[in-house]
Amino acid sequence: MDVKQIVNQMTLEEKAAMCSGADFWHTEKVERLGIPASMVSDGPHGLRKQPDESSGDHLGLNDAIEAVCFPAACATASSFDRELLHDMGVTLGKECQAEGVSVLLGPAVNIKRSPLCGRNFEYLSEDPYLAGELAASYINGVQSQNVGTSIKHFAANNQESERMSVSAEVDERTLREIYFPAFETAVKKAQPWTVMCSYNRLNGTYASEHKWLLTDVLRNDWGFEGYVMSDWGAVRDRVKGIIAGMDLEMPGSSGANDRAIIQAVQEGSLKEETLDLAVERILNIVYRYAENRQNEAFSREKDHQKAAEIARQCIVLLKNEAQVLPLVQDEKIALIGGFAEKPRYQGGGSSHINSHTVPCAVQLKDQYGNMTYAKGFTADGDQYEEDLEKEALEVAEQSDKIAVFAGLPDVFESESYDREHMRLPDCQNQLIEKLTKLGKPVIVVLHNGSPVEMPWVDNVQGIVEAYLGGEAVAEAVMDILYGEVNPSGRLAETFPRRLEDNPSYLNFPGMQKQVNYAEGIFVGYRYYDARKMDVLFPFGYGLSYTEFSYSNLKIDKSRITAKDTLMVSLDVTNTGSMEGKEIVQLYVSDKTQAAIRPVRELKNFTAVTLKPGETKTVSMELDYRAFAWYDTEQKDWYAAGGTYEICIGKSSRDIVMRTEVVLENEKEKLPKIDENVMIGDLMDCTKTADYVEERLMPYIGEFIGKTSMKEMDEMERSMVYYMPLSSLRSFTKLDNEGLGELVDELKNHMR
């Protein structure tokens, strides 16, 4: 389809209309030119298609078609499995084709800055590398079915409080290293058809009007080829948005913004070729879907089984004292808690699915073992009911082990508002504490979208983190509890002991419509590990019913350059008695001390399934970016020459193997030369170190009384090291003219 030719035939009014939604879920059509409407639908872990546009909404308030609810991102990220996310994406893409949906709105890759963010259940991780890799796999899966995705919310949308107006104040290094990479990786590895911009402002400018964000970074730096759409209702100044690179407004503005676009073109404040470009981007995607329609059958039963298969690989075993798990069929098990009868399996808001079928543990209990159910507490809130607690304690007294299905009720976390604390409902904590005093082993199964405090953690024997595992979560949990499946999930976020330990605690969610990201790059485990802070469970942590050993760590080069790729390999052996999947995590630690950096950062990972006694060799690659940090002075990624440690871990805290590699970087970080350059920076730079001794020492010697740096004591060297060049005027006969000559000489020396 020649899109440019079509745009040339469109009237100004048709072009303006094309940049707005026709209704809540459709782009505009132009019948006279044969331009079809195109439907988008909420995701990302299920199809929330609303058949009647008159009842359309973006908060999950109205009914959608019956669909299959897959595990939410908080769960799928715990799989650490690229293939699993790709497979899930393929299934969702097929469902979209069956239902005539051209773009699925997801994945959501905003970083989990605070455990209080009400939408954390829909976000992948606190780690940008993990989030980016899994998002790219998911996108490639969906788009393999000729259905688009809309990666969201770009950018720095890390809270629900005042999300439509708050300004996220973030320095560029932090943006480039923490809040951008998941989007960048997805664009470079998967090219999502669309990107959804966020509601909030970024450093004072609305994301929908942010030219640096949407054009300079997204398109020019990363090479994004699709169109940018707004979040629903995120547009403020429509003309500024078009100029910035925000193409499609959803769901439209009843024609008001169309008229603003037309007027701007007519008055000359908006170039028509800029509008044409936005229309071309939209039509390219409309026709990409229309020309690749597929006949697909949407089998809800089959996809439910797929959801169960995925959920089994997302569950994280957090504690298994004295091998209390797996359960044995002839054990008497007290099944306690309202979540066993009414599992919480998805979050609230725009990703809320009208689920096909939702089995519960109570319905399944007789298929697995000897279980007796008592509610104990409801799944709907925090209401203490004495009769329910009494019944639960009586049932527990008659059991061999106690399995408590606990979690966060729907009202505790949702889109549109943030959590106020990290606690489970008091009625749940109270009952769990009483159950631990019965002298029976207690296993707690958690249904939650983000970390919770666990005041009873030392008194229970087992903890199973099921997260929001989709409509088949109960089947997956029961398979884990009874050992039908070996747990393999790993935490994609840190569980702190207290809310107050979180690095964003003093700056979340901000005040007066501004939030300061004062913790910078030290988000999640980057902060906890740097502080050597005790946490409940670290990033990357998870247990198995079998044991794995690592050996034979190798790197293919001991020295690398900025152009090289480093191959890291090791052997993984299942030394236990049950087949299982291990997640091998590769972290890099910068030993050069050239910049303030985290202790270590995740830079690759792989999943490997092994039978008992089996050994496999796994390999992972590291490129220059894996060693680099973002230097705002150079406006580029930079890795200093020197030693880097390659760390193989079972979590960010459990590093089991190490080796070192030397990076030889010919691109030295050069100081900015002006009259305020620090003499120490000149001393550290290979291009100017000799200049300090030859040209500056005569001036330095005037007040130090030494003829070379080697003659100085530590105090004298430090004083000179931290002195700006301009300070020589205060202690020597150097005047402004002489200072200018030194600066010019240095600039010539650097060439």
Q: Which amino acids are annotated catalytic? A: 231
* Structure tokens, 723: 């002195």
User: CA-CA distance, 548 to 151, in Å (whole number)?
Assistant: 36
* Structure tokens, 175: 């943006």
Angle between helices 256-267 and 272-290 (to 10 degrees): 140
User: CA-CA distance, 59 to 62, in Å (whole number)?
Assistant: 8
Length of the chain equals 751
Residues 6+ apart with CB under 8 A from 674: 743
Element (H, E) at 242: helix 238-244
Give buried/exposed letters for 158-177 (b at 16+ CB in 10 A, else e).
bbbbbbbebbbbbeebbbbb
223 in the Ramachandran plot: left (φ > 0), alpha (ψ -120 to 50) or beta? left
* Structure tokens, 216: 């300079």
Look at residues 230, 282, 284, 227 and name the one whose alpha carbon lies nearest to residue 257: 230
User: CA-CA distance, 348 to 346, in Å (whole number)?
Assistant: 7
Q: At which residue do the structure tokens 């676009």 appear?
A: 261
- Measured between its terminal Cα atoms, the distance across the chain in Å is 51
User: CA-CA distance, 554 to 566, in Å (whole number)?
Assistant: 10
Element (H, E) at 279: helix 272-290
Neighbours of 41 (CB within 10 A): 25
User: CA-CA distance, 161 to 164, in Å (whole number)?
Assistant: 8
Secondary structure (3-state) at 663 = strand
* Structure tokens, 357: 């079928």
Element (H, E) at 747: helix 736-750
| Sequence letter at residue 366 | D
Residues 653, 496 contacting (CB under 8 angstroms): no
Secondary structure (3-state) at 425 = coil
* Structure tokens, 749: 């020396």
User: CA-CA distance, 105 to 48, in Å (whole number)?
Assistant: 10
